Amino acid sequence: MKFSNIEYKRPDINELQEKFKHLIGLFENAESFDEQDALIKNINDLRMEFMTLGTIASIKYSIDTTDKEFEEEQDFYDANMPVYDSLIHRYYSAIVKSKYRKELEAKWGKQLFDVADVTLRTFSPEILEDLKKENELRTDYTKLLASAKIFFDGEERNLQGLTPYMESTDRDVRKAANEAKWKFFAENEEEFDRLFDELVKLRAGMAKRLGYKNFIQMGYDRMGRTDYNSEMVAKFRQQVEKYIVPIAEKLKKKQQSRLGIESFKYYDQPLDYKSGNAKPHGSPDWIVSCAKNMYSELSPETNEFFNFMLENEMMDLVNKKGKDTGGYCTFIEKYKSPFIFSNFNGTMGDIEVLTHEAGHAFQAYSSRNFEIPEYFFPTSEACEIHSMSMEFLTWPWMNCFFKTETEKFKYSHLKGSLIFIPYGVTVDEFQHWVYDNPDATPAERKKAWLKIEKKYLPYIDYDGNEFLESGGRWQQQRHIYMSPFYYIDYCLAQICAFQFWKKSMDNREKALEDYLRLCKAGGSQSFLELVKTAHLISPFEDGCLESFVGEIEKWLDNFDDASVN
């Protein structure tokens, strides 16, 4: 089914509730395993019908946030997703209490029941109105970001449209583009503060009512984390500080030297070379044609997948006015189809986001035939292994996109992936601080951000920018507002992706074999179980970082700066 041909009709929430409750009642009164097994299939069919419509509405709204019809649909789902979640809560309660649980686990897998157990802790009908309010605040944050209308270089641009200027070889242009971007945040600082303050207090209140000490564990439970905790994550952050921060500092000094500047400012960060960063050598359509060739050669499985995406119009890739920021992959359940959303803007990020989201999409395509929705995607930290590893597994084809600038791209990509991790743990530690201190003022939060940032990113110099020097940088990070504690996931996954990078250098065939096995497993296992399935070392295991960081440092040290400037 082509995306343009998919019909959308708002679901009747009352009818959904009636049908769902009827099926749950039959399930609870069933007299055999076979009867309950059949009812699980009926319940999942009903779930996927509703989820499909919600996904379609969400995609259409993110493609054009000025579309009033789908703005109204977004409002509908903001109000009614918590109602739907309450039905899932009832379903999970029924399956975990089933007298046939042992047989159901044998049929559907233990992971479904682990997901159900952890999810049940995060919901109660008494927080229903709070969940609706949380959705409204999230949408308000999305609207605020998408509302940016910044006049720069002769025309009106959104936040994504400034990115090419932030990578300009002209330092004055880089600085001006950054100042224009952060001026938008400064002018809307009060609204960003208000939205976040309301979200934090709302989440803290929900956690208390559900019996949590604070929102931290509730946040972990909402992310479906069943085999690691905040203490393990804190130790991981310590390993990052010990092994990666010193390398990141060294790489930044090397970058400063390569650029030939006396002082290294925040607006110099995105530019790796005096001659300019690597850029794709063609239009968006040309990029897609290169990607088609790349995936046809990578493996028979990726060839089938990418042709499916093209034939069914399951990608919207180019930046335009009114479009939501960022990139994502989602899954249209009824049609067993991934969908890729991005904002191409003429930078090397276009290729990174395409391969990244294609990694997510390929995993979803590989596991599309699971009969239960919980297994279409794994938990987010496992999801990000597929996307980040795909970025590295496609390295042999980067010359198609970057031509003579291929080595520039590879260096920037590997270096950028490594120096991202200290930023990622900064975001994570900040979120832990925020929900440990829910009554902090906006000013106190910003002070905490600066303190944490200094520990992991000691080279940052904001050059007198008042908003950034006051600690406001984090307000651009969507995850902090939208999905609390969804950020360490990128760091954990990047550690796994680096192992795929190393594997692909040593034995490409084995690396691809492990990757395909991981993708086919979908969400049928927990994070650490999937790590084992892919023959990777757990990021929490002693010696994990040491097993590859030296190889990355060596590869980056051997890069010839003179050859690209």
Q: What is the SS3 string spanning 384-435? A: HHHHHHHHHHCHHHHHHHHHHHHHHHHHHHHHHHHHHHHHHHHHHHHHHHHH
CA distances from 230 to 218, 337, 552 (A): 11, 34, 28
pLDDT tens digit sequence for 470-493: 999 999 999 999 999 999 999 999
* pLDDT attached to residue 71: 93
C-beta separation of 360 from 329 below 8 A: yes
Residue 377 lies in a domain: no
Helix axes 101-108, 33-63, angle to 10 degrees: 50
Let me know: does 534 contact 517? Beta carbons within 8 Å: yes
CB-based burial label for 205 (10 Å; 0-12, 13-18, 19+) = middle
What does the radius of gyration of the chain's CA atoms come to, in whole angstroms?
23
Residue 130 DSSP symbol: H
**What count of residues does the chain have?**
565
Tokens in use for 519? 């993708």
- Does one domain contain both 99 and 40? yes
Q: How far apart are CA 519 and CA 378, in angstroms?
A: 10
Q: Are residues 8 and 119 in the same domain?
A: yes
123 shares a domain with 14: yes
Looking at residue 215, what is its pLDDT? 98
Q: 172 and 97: one domain?
A: no
**Which residues make Cβ contacts (< 8 Å) with residue 429, sequence separation at least 6?**
237, 452, 456
Residue 51 lies in a domain: yes
Domain shared by 57 and 96, yes or no: yes
Report the pLDDT value the prediction gives residue 484, as an integer from 0 to 100.
Answer: 96
Helices and strands counted in the chain (H then E): 25, 5
- Domain boundary residue, one of 101, 134, 167: 134
Domain contains 264: no
Q: What is the pLDDT of residue 521?
A: 98
The closest of 259, 216, 56 to 122, measured between CA atoms, is: 216
Q: How far apart are CA 301 and CA 200, in angstroms?
A: 43
Backbone angles phi, psi at 385, to 5 degrees: -65, -45
Q: Which domain holds residue 155?
A: 149-183
Is 104 found in the same domain as 21? Answer: yes
The single residue listed with the structure tokens 């080279």 is 459
d(CA 43, CA 36): 10
Phi/psi of residue 82, each to 5°? -60, -30
Same domain for 20 and 99, yes or no, is yes
Q: Are residues 37 and 60 in the same domain?
A: yes
Residues 110 and 48 occupy one common structural domain: yes
Residues of the chain with pLDDT under 70: none
Backbone angles phi, psi at 60, to 5 degrees: -65, -35
Helix (H, G, I), strand (E, B) or coil at 61: helix
Residue with tokens 């605040």: 137
The number of beta carbons lying within 10 Å of the beta carbon of residue 151 is 9
Q: Which single residue is written with the structure tokens 């929705």?
A: 373
What's residue 562's pLDDT? 75
Q: Is residue 126 domain-shared with residue 34, that is, in the same domain? A: yes
Residues 6+ apart with CB under 8 A from 553: 247
Sheet of strand 315-318: strand arrangement? 315-318, 337-344, 328-332
Instruction: Give pLDDT tens digits for 90-149.
Output: 999 999 999 999 999 999 999 999 999 999 999 998 999 999 999 999 999 999 998 999
Kindly state whether residue 80 falls inside one of the protein's structural domains: yes
Bridge pairing between strands 315-318 and 328-332:
unpaired
Number of domains in the chain: 2
Residue 340 lies in a domain: no
124 lies in a domain? yes
Residue 382's nearest CA partner among 364, 396, 365 is 364
The whole-number pLDDT of residue 480 equals 97
Find out whether 228 and 530 touch, Cβ atoms under 8 Å.
Answer: no
Same domain for 81 and 153?
no
- 49, 163: one domain: no
Residue 187 CB coordination number (10 Å): 11
